[in-house]
Structure 1
Amino acid sequence: MAICKPGPFGHPSGKIGNTIFYMLKGQPVCRSNGKPGKVSLKQKANRQEMSVAMELLKPMKDFINVSFKMESAGSVKNPHNLATSYNKKQALTGDYPNIKVDYSKVVLSRGLLEMATDLKVSKAADGLQLSWDSGMEEHSALDDIMMVLVSHPTRKRASTFLNAGRRGDGSCFIPLDKDWMLKEQMEVYVCFKSSNEKLISDSAYLGNLNGAPDSPLEKAEKEKYTGIKARFVQVAADYEKKKMDYAEGVIGSKAFRHLEKEYQVLRDKLAHMPGKPS
């Protein structure tokens, strides 16, 4: 049952038939509540895109709540809505069912504040060392604050540093206190916010550290390649031996033709299939 608080012509609140009415940040909205039909391929792809984007952004909540706070102010969207929208459109790659994150295209802030140049990151004994060109025309900009996020995808975690350093310092140190942090995959992002928190820059991707593990698809492809390669080595050795015997007329031609056919099929398959060692 829906309730119209202001009167008979006001916006209802609740359920009418298969439609649900409610208020979202002061804006009246409604959505359907019917039974879903057969899921199309596009719907499956959209669902996987949303799932991958949500998994990426969930550990980044503290960072996103600050980095998208200014853009979401005065709108019906919250910081997480904005982050999801940007990254679902820009940071995903591949086709269903193998959609994954392109970490170089992840967006963690949007704004007009200038980003620093000559950004660099390197591993130290117990953390990361970041540096950048601190030169700016406006003296007040030297007080801009650097925000740093280190994503740990294999652990589905993120290390957030909302006040890592001042723009004028030209460098900062990011402590990472877990033993695994400096050994496993890291994706590093930064942005600047003004000292009065009224402006923010676009985020910048500083790069990957320690590489990335194989995806489930890549693991499966490598396992399949390894199995076929082992069979090919066995068949090739038998083929080469019997090819010499066949030339001498020792073996029957039918068995040899079957062996030769398998040899050629496996050879051609290995030449074109994914999963080869890099």
Structure 2
Amino acid sequence: MGKINQGILGGVSGQVGNVIGGTWKGIDYLRIKPSSVANPKTPDQVDQRTKFVTVLRFLQPITEFLRTGFKKYASGMTQFNSAMSYNLNNAVTGTYPNYSIDYPNALVSRGNLAGGENGAAASTNAAEVDVSWDDNSGSGGAQATDKALIVILNPTKGEAVYTTAGAARSATAETLTVPSNFTGDDVEVFLGFISEDGTKVSNSSYLGSVTVA
């Protein structure tokens, strides 16, 4: 129990309510006792934190790419945070603690420009990944001059190869070179498009998992 010395205007010794008093070198002092902090490791918090880390590992290798891919959905937040929010809510599968990314539902670019049609990915030459699509110019605002947005993600190594100004939509294909140490690894491939002037972006589409030759 604390005491208030010399009446209400005197010094406080010990604890009175949430006020702690004492004397240091003849000087009376007061400090507020810190509020107790709620348990930061409740089951819900740990569950959400695990999902967050799962998405973070997915997006960190393409941080720079997301500046373009999510440029239209970064109102009041960074492009990375916008991508985090979307994928946290839409692209996590599994149950605690075994969460993983649901790639077909993940987005690495987001917007209302028409995406690619019949996209496909393959690797037939060493350290190369071939990406192809149909030319759907004229559909949903798609233009022949739109540029491909391509992501080749290596989840095992936590690395990625990407382009934000790839081949034109009308070219219908592009080959990206990946590091030689990707050989034998499974990579996840995404395709989107951006208008030539950079003002419009499409939702990305997942082209599947490819084993690098």
Fold similarity call, TM over 0.5: yes
Shift of residue 47, structure 1, vs aligned partner: 0.6
Cα deviation for residue 202 of structure 1 reads: 0.4
Q: Share of identical aligned residues, percent?
A: 24
1:130/1:41 CA distance change after superposition, 3 Å? same
Q: CA deviation at 1:41?
A: 1.2
Partners of 1:153 and 1:113 in 2: CA distance:
28
Q: In the alignment, residue 147 of structure 2 is paired with which amino acid?
A: I
Question: After the TM superposition, which residues 1-278 of structure 1 pair with which residues of structure 2 at under 5 Å, given as runs?
Answer: 35-37=37-39, 39-72=41-74, 75-126=75-126, 127-137=128-138, 141-176=143-178, 178-210=179-211
Q: CA deviation at 1:34?
A: 6.9
Question: Counting strand residues as a fraction of each chain, which structure ranks higher?
Answer: 2
Q: Which 4+ stretches in 1 moved above 3 angstroms?
A: none
Aligned length: 176
Distance in 2 (CA, whole Å) between partners of 1:69 and 1:197 is: 10
Task: Work out the CA distance in 1 between the residues paired with 2:85 and 2:73.
Answer: 13
Rg: which structure is higher?
1
SS of the residue aligned with 2:84?
A: helix
Structure 1 pair 35/144, CA: closer, same or farther in 2 (3 Å)?
A: same
Q: CA deviation at 1:79?
A: 0.2
Contact 2:94/2:100, CA 8 A, preserved across alignment: yes
| Separation in structure 1 between the aligned mates of residue 64 and residue 40 of structure 2, nearest angstrom | 37
Distance in 2, Cα, partners of 1:179 & 1:51: 28
Q: Which amino acid aligns with 2:189?
A: V
Q: Which amino acid in structure 1 is aligned with residue 53 of structure 2?
A: S
Q: Is the 8 A contact 2:146 2:168 kept in 1?
A: yes
Contact (CA 8 Å) 1:145, 1:165: kept in 2 or not? Answer: yes
Superposed CA RMSD: 2.0
More helix by share: 1
What TM-score results when the alignment is normalised by the length of structure 2?
0.77
Distance 1:103 1:115 in 2: 17
Partners in 2 of 1:155 and 1:47 — Cα distance? 22
Q: CA deviation at 1:140?
A: 7.5
Structure 1 portions without partners, runs of 5+: 1-32, 212-278
Normalized against structure 1, the TM-score is what? 0.59
Q: Please state whether the residue corresponding to 1:149 is helix, strand or coil.
A: strand
SS in 2 for 1:142: coil
Counterparts in 2 of 1:190 and 1:199: CA distance versus 1, 3 Å: same
